[in-house]
């Protein structure tokens, strides 16, 4: 990038740079983000009557395109440039157009001064740097391979196996010896003592089983295999055992990445899983739409059901039925004594449709009953997590009659609990963020002190740093969740380098090129959400009842608004009423477009109808705003607002009823980490318009099976929806075409079967990596513990003291 700057300075564009900087100085903001910079540059090009090519193709145009931020201080400008994904360069431009590179430390100091004129003295501020801990682990080189960590790790491990066969075969032998179930040895016994014996006995066992009928049950030749050194776990039939042993034989003789993955994925080593989802109202009925309760609850419940199903399949295929192996999945959450009619005060609840998946609710210790007996916002939850983890450990050990094999954290608080549990129990830890608040709230780290009373970001961002670095592997739903796009920073990437003024500087918060990152998108519950055309699976009474609720029922207690013409095409959206979900933005978009109102009605399923019914400040603000928009644009007769809580089956049917009426689904979030409602709408057959900010970019293929919108540009959004609607009016087959392609997209890519198979494969491979790598994680974990005890815990204690006076 320095060459590009030099090219500008060595050409006629130097005067353009000087003029552009002059225009920047007139800007009232000292801190400009990418959109601001592009707007100012656009204004400059227009005012200077530059040709269109100058904006995109000139050296200066390219520099501006790659510039993420510009900070003005005195006569200097700081350019923060992102020349490629997961990369950052920083330069200072002086008034004389001298250019000098800046260090990360200088940039963080500059940001501090911008906030509060605070000039850190040497030694004043804690500097966090996780970089050295990744120096001894393999790292990916090419940014396009970020998120494919397990593929890289398999290549790395198989190359090691090839280079130093003796050592790695010894590790493999020891790894195979590890596995037990309830005290019963699996895979190999003491008859195989050396790697040479392993290799010979594998070939002998292959010859033995290949002579038997491929469908012969394992139990009929179990004794003969045991005499050769092989215990249960290789397969349920002669054919399956032969297949597994052949993969191992190939791995021993000529290691290759796909062979390694194929073999380790079959190793029976995971039977007990904990899914931590700590905050919110976690239940199976009557909770969705409550504060902090939405997509994550749906995700975790569906994941638990499908993990249990996959584990049961794996047990059968491994030939372990004779040992009475019973996989168990526990969703760990908090118990809420004042449960408001839900089952959130019930300690143990079986997950519907499963044999051995449970919701285990552990109460918070009663520091102050006014707080701990009731729901607590995810932003206020931090003081209780350590004691919750300690108490949960005892409960989990009792429920499992032993330790779990895998702990999966969800969201920032659940990931911190997962770290604390995994550290104490020495178990593989997986993190799933769902959403990292840092990238959702603009300048949330820079102005954390102003936001602390409401959001407590100092605790949340510290918890994120702890959990993401401690995790053995991280699952994201999309690639851009990790490292963004060519012109936007990813959620994890935003933790790479940042400051929390007067608290700490993060010089290197996470290694984005670590193979711990894996993209594994979730599925959609195919029992509840399926195409509207599958009429044989739909219940006519439910269909009629929900159609009435959506379009005509008058019930002031849960429905606001009466439609003048219920036959108009419905624009539908369903989400919590909070600022990020931006349903009020969609209402305003609809209100500003008379043309859209001519063709369509707007129907929203969104939380509460009354301020006094909500205990969430953000929801209250959005309720007030939505009423204001309805009055301001006189949307009476054109909008329906349903403050209803839907069961899973009703939630699925409501999309299908909208599809019956040839409606569209709009997801207008200002930012969406993934977007489960998008999958639900698409699989139902609804043409879907979704935010271009976040995960939907990877779900929808624009104009093929859905459409991107910029929810901050209301006029453009209205135009896109209107164009689709008018096109469908002229050509009804167009709606059917987009509907069909949306359904196909979900079935080909976003099923829970794909997700759970991949997740369990990852858990086994990272378990193998931790065992064989001889990597000493203890230094990293001690560093993380220091951060927990010296930064997180004092702040949590301070917040707890505030809670005790409420």
Residue 371 has pLDDT above 80, yes or no: yes
pLDDT bin (cut points 50, 70, 90) of residue 608 is confident
Average pLDDT over residues 448-458: 95
- Token pair 């959001």 is found at 455
Residue 119 has pLDDT above 70, yes or no: no
Judge contact between 251 and 260, C-beta under 8 A.
yes
Residue 123 has pLDDT above 70, yes or no: no
Residue spans of the domains in the chain: they are 2-102, 155-177+188-230+234-264, 272-523+764-776, 535-750
> How many Å apart are CA 550 and CA 559, to the nearest integer?
9
For residue 674, what pLDDT is reported? 83
For residue 56, what pLDDT is reported? 87
**What backbone torsions phi and psi does residue 708 show, to the nearest 5 degrees?**
-85, 145
**What backbone torsions phi and psi does residue 272 show, to the nearest 5 degrees?**
-125, 120
**What backbone torsions phi and psi does residue 514 show, to the nearest 5 degrees?**
-70, 140
Please tell me which of 288-302, 641-655, 711-725 the model is most confident about, judged by mean pLDDT. Answer: 711-725
Domain at 272-523+764-776: CATH code? 3.40.50.2000
Residue 750: name the closest of 475, 521, 519, 433 by CA: 521
Helices (H) and strands (E) in the chain, counts: 32, 25
For residue 549, what pLDDT is reported? 94
Residue 519: name the closest of 749, 331, 679 by CA: 749
Distances (CA, A) of 617 to 377, 579, 621, 624, 674: 10, 11, 6, 11, 24
Distances (CA, A) of 297 to 17, 289, 300, 303: 51, 11, 5, 10
> How many Å apart are CA 80 and CA 91, to the nearest integer?
7
pLDDT in tens, 292-329: 888 899 899 999 999 999 999 999 999 999 899 999 99
Judge contact between 441 and 455, C-beta under 8 A.
yes
Average pLDDT, the chain: 93
Judge contact between 560 and 608, C-beta under 8 A.
no
Would you state the structure tokens that stand for residue 694, as one six-digit string?
A: 């976040």
For residue 122, what pLDDT is reported? 56
pLDDT in tens, 12-55: 989 999 999 988 888 878 899 988 899 899 999 999 998 988 99
> How many Å apart are CA 28 and CA 1, to the nearest integer?
27
For residue 1, what pLDDT is reported? 65
More confident position, 170 or 733: 733
> How many Å apart are CA 158 and CA 541, to the nearest integer?
58
Average pLDDT over residues 127-149: 92
pLDDT bin (cut points 50, 70, 90) of residue 447 is very high
For residue 407, what pLDDT is reported? 98
Residue 121 has pLDDT above 60, yes or no: no
Residues 6+ apart with CB under 8 A from 470: 419, 422, 423, 429, 780, 781, 784
pLDDT in tens, 762-804: 999 999 988 887 666 889 999 999 999 999 999 999 999 999 9
> How many Å apart are CA 732 and CA 677, to the nearest integer?
25
Domains 2-102 and 535-750 share a fold: no
> To the nearest whole percent, how much of the chain has pLDDT over 70?
99
**What backbone torsions phi and psi does residue 805 show, to the nearest 5 degrees?**
-100, 10
Average pLDDT over residues 674-678: 88
For residue 356, what pLDDT is reported? 98
For residue 124, what pLDDT is reported? 76
> How many Å apart are CA 386 and CA 362, to the nearest integer?
13
For residue 117, what pLDDT is reported? 64
For residue 186, what pLDDT is reported? 97
> How many Å apart are CA 374 and CA 320, to the nearest integer?
44
Residue 478 has pLDDT above 70, yes or no: yes
CATH of 155-177+188-230+234-264, one of 1.20.120.1230, 1.20.1260.10, 1.10.10.60, 1.10.3720.10: 1.20.120.1230
Judge contact between 688 and 724, C-beta under 8 A.
no
Residue 2 has pLDDT above 80, yes or no: no
Residue 546: name the closest of 471, 465, 638, 651 by CA: 651
Would you state the structure tokens that stand for residue 46, as one six-digit string?
A: 């227009």
> How many Å apart are CA 624 and CA 627, to the nearest integer?
5
DSSP string, 131-157: GGGGTTS----SGGGTTBHHHHHHHHH
- Token pair 């997180």 is found at 792
**What backbone torsions phi and psi does residue 383 show, to the nearest 5 degrees?**
-65, -15
> At the top level of CATH, which class does the domain 2-102 belong to?
alpha beta
Task: Provide the whole-model pTM.
Answer: 0.86
Residue 170 has pLDDT above 80, yes or no: yes
Judge contact between 293 and 280, C-beta under 8 A.
yes
> How many Å apart are CA 402 and CA 420, to the nearest integer?
17
Fold (CATH) for 535-750? Rossmann fold (3.40.50)
> How many Å apart are CA 456 and CA 474, to the nearest integer?
24
DSSP string, 372-385: HTS---TTT-GGGH
pLDDT in tens, 486-524: 888 999 999 999 999 999 999 999 999 999 999 999 998
- What would you measure as the largest C-alpha separation in the chain, in angstroms? 87
């Amino acid at each position: 990038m320095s060459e590009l700057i030099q090219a500008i300075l060595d050409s006629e564009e130097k005067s353009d740079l000087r003029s552009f900087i002059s225009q920047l100085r007139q800007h009232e903001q000292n801190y400009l983000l990418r959109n601001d910079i592009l707007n100012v540059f656009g204004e400059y090009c227009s005012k200077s009557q530059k040709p269109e090519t100058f904006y995109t193709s000139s050296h200066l145009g390219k520099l501006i395109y790659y510039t993420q931020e510009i900070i003005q201080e005195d006569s200097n400008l700081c350019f923060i440039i992102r020349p490629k994904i997961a990369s950052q360069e920083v330069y200072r431009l002086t008034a004389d157009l001298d250019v000098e590179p800046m260090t990360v430390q200088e940039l963080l100091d500059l940001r501090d001064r911008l906030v509060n004129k605070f000039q850190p003295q040497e030694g004043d501020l804690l500097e966090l740097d996780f970089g050295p801990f990744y120096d001894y682990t393999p790292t990916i080189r090419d940014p396009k391979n970020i998120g494919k960590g397990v593929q890289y790790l398999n290549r790395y491990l198989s190359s090691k196996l090839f280079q130093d066969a003796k050592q790695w075969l010894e590790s493999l032998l020891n790894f195979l010896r590890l596995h037990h179930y309830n005290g019963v040895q699996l895979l190999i016994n003491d008859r195989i003592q050396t790697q040479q014996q392993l290799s010979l006995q594998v070939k002998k066992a292959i010859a033995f089983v290949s002579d038997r009928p491929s469908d012969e049950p394992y139990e009929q030749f179990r004794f003969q295999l045991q005499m050769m050194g092989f215990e249960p776990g290789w397969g349920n039939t002669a054919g399956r055992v032969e297949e597994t042993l052949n993969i191992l034989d190939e791995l021993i003789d000529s290691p290759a990445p796909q062979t390694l993955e194929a073999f380790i994925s079959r190793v029976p080593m995971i039977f007990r899983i904990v899914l931590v989802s700590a905050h919110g109202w976690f239940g199976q009925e009557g909770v969705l739409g409550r504060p902090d309760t939405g997509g994550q609850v749906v995700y975790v419940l569906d994941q638990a059901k499908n993990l249990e199903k996959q584990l049961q399949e794996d047990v059968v295929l491994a030939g372990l039925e004779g040992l009475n192996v019973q996989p168990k999945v526990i969703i760990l959450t908090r118990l809420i004594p004042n449960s408001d009619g839900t089952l959130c005060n019930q300690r143990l609840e079986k997950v519907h449709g499963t044999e051995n998946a449970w919701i285990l609710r552990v109460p918070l210790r009663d520091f102050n009953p006014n707080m701990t007996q009731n729901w607590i916002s995810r932003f206020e939850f931090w003081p209780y997590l350590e004691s919750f983890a300690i108490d949960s450990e005892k409960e989990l050990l009792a429920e499992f009659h032993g330790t779990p094999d895998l702990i999966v954290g969800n969201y920032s608080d659940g990931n911190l609990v997962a770290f604390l549990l995994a550290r104490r129990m020495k178990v593989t830890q997986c993190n799933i963020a769902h959403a990292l608040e840092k990238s959702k709230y603009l300048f949330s780290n820079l102005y954390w002190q102003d936001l602390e009373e409401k959001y407590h970001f100092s605790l949340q961002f510290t918890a994120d740093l702890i959990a993401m670095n401690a995790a053995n592997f991280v699952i994201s739903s999309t690639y851009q969740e990790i490292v963004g796009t060519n012109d936007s920073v990813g959620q994890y990437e935003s933790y790479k380098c940042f400051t929390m003024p007067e608290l700490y500087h993060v010089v290197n918060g996470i290694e984005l090129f670590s193979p711990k990152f894996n993209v594994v998108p979730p599925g959609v519950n195919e029992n509840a959400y399926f195409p509207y055309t599958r009429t044989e699976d739909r219940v006519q009474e439910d269909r009629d009842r929900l159609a009435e609720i959506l379009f005509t029922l008058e019930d002031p207690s849960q429905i606001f608004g009466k439609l003048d013409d219920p036959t108009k095409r419905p624009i539908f959206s369903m989400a919590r009423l909070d600022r990020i979900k931006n349903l009020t933005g969609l209402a305003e978009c609809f209100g500003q477009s008379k043309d859209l109102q001519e063709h369509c009605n707007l129907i929203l399923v969104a939380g509460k109808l009354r301020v006094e019914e909500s205990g969430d400040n953000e929801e209250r603000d959005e309720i007030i705003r939505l009423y204001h928009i309805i009055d301001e644009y006189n949307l009476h007769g054109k909008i329906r607002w349903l403050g209803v809580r839907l069961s899973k089956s009703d939630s699925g049917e409501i999309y299908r009823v909208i599809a019956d009426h040839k409606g569209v689904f709009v997801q207008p979030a200002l930012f969406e980490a993934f977007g489960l409602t998008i999958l639900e709408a698409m699989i139902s057959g609804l043409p879907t318009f979704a935010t271009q900010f976040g995960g939907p970019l990877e779900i929808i293929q624009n104009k093929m099976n859905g459409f991107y919108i910029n929810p901050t540009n209301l006029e453009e959004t209205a135009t896109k929806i209107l164009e689709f609607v008018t096109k469908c009016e002229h050509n009804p087959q167009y709606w059917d075409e987009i509907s069909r392609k949306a359904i196909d997209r979900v079935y080909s890519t976003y099923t829970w079967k794909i997700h759970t198979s991949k997740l369990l494969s990852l858990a086994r491979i990272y378990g193998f990596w931790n065992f064989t790598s001889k990597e000493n994680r203890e230094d990293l974990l001690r560093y993380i513990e220091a951060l927990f005890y010296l930064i997180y815990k004092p702040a949590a204690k301070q917040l707890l003291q505030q809670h005790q006076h409420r």
